[in-house]
C-alpha cells in the first residue's frame, strides 16, 4: 500500500499522518506511526512498532530496527543503522 507515494510500501497497520514526507523506495512496516512534518529519505526501512515524531528528519538509506522511538527535533544522517529498542529523546534537562 503506497497511499499515493511513488514506490513506497506502507503496511496497512501503519499510520502515516498527512504532511509526512516519505522518500521513494522506502518501506514502512507493521504498527509504525509517522507524525505530520516528519521527513524520511529514500530507500529507508522502518521496522515494526517504530514511532517517528513531528519534525524528525531521517536521511537516505537508513535502516531503523523494531521498537525504536525517534522524538521531535532528532536528525538521523544518511546510511545510518539504528538497532532495536533505541530511544532518541529530546529532553534537554535530566
Residue with cell 538497532: 83
DSSP string covering 36-58, please?
TT-EE-TT-EE-TT-EE-TT-EE
pLDDT in tens, 32-77: 999 999 999 999 999 999 999 999 999 999 999 999 999 999 999 9
Sequence-distant (6+) residues with CB within 8 A of 12 are: 1
Do residues 41 and 22 lie in contact, with contact meaning Cβ atoms separated by under 8 Å?
A: no
Q: Which residues pair with 27 in a beta bridge?
A: 9, 45
In CATH terms, 9-88 corresponds, of 3.40.50.880, 3.10.250.10, 3.30.1330.10, 2.160.10.10, to 2.160.10.10
What pTM was computed for the model?
A: 0.91
Amino acid at each position: 500500500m503506497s497511499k499515493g507515494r511513488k514506490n513506497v510500501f506502507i503496511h496497512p497497520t501503519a499510520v502515516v499522518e498527512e504532511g509526512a514526507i516519505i522518500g521513494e523506495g522506502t518501506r514502512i512496516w507493521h504498527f509504525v506511526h509517522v507524525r505530520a512534518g516528519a521527513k524520511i529519505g529514500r530507500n529507508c526501512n522502518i521496522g515494526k512498532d517504530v514511532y517517528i515524531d513531528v519534525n524528525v528528519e531521517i536521511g537516505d538509506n537508513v535502516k531503523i530496527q523494531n521498537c525504536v522511538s525517534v522524538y521531535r527535533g532528532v536528525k538521523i544522517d544518511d546510511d545510518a543503522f539504528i538497532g532495536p529498542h533505541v530511544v532518541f529523546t529530546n529532553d534537554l534537562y535530566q
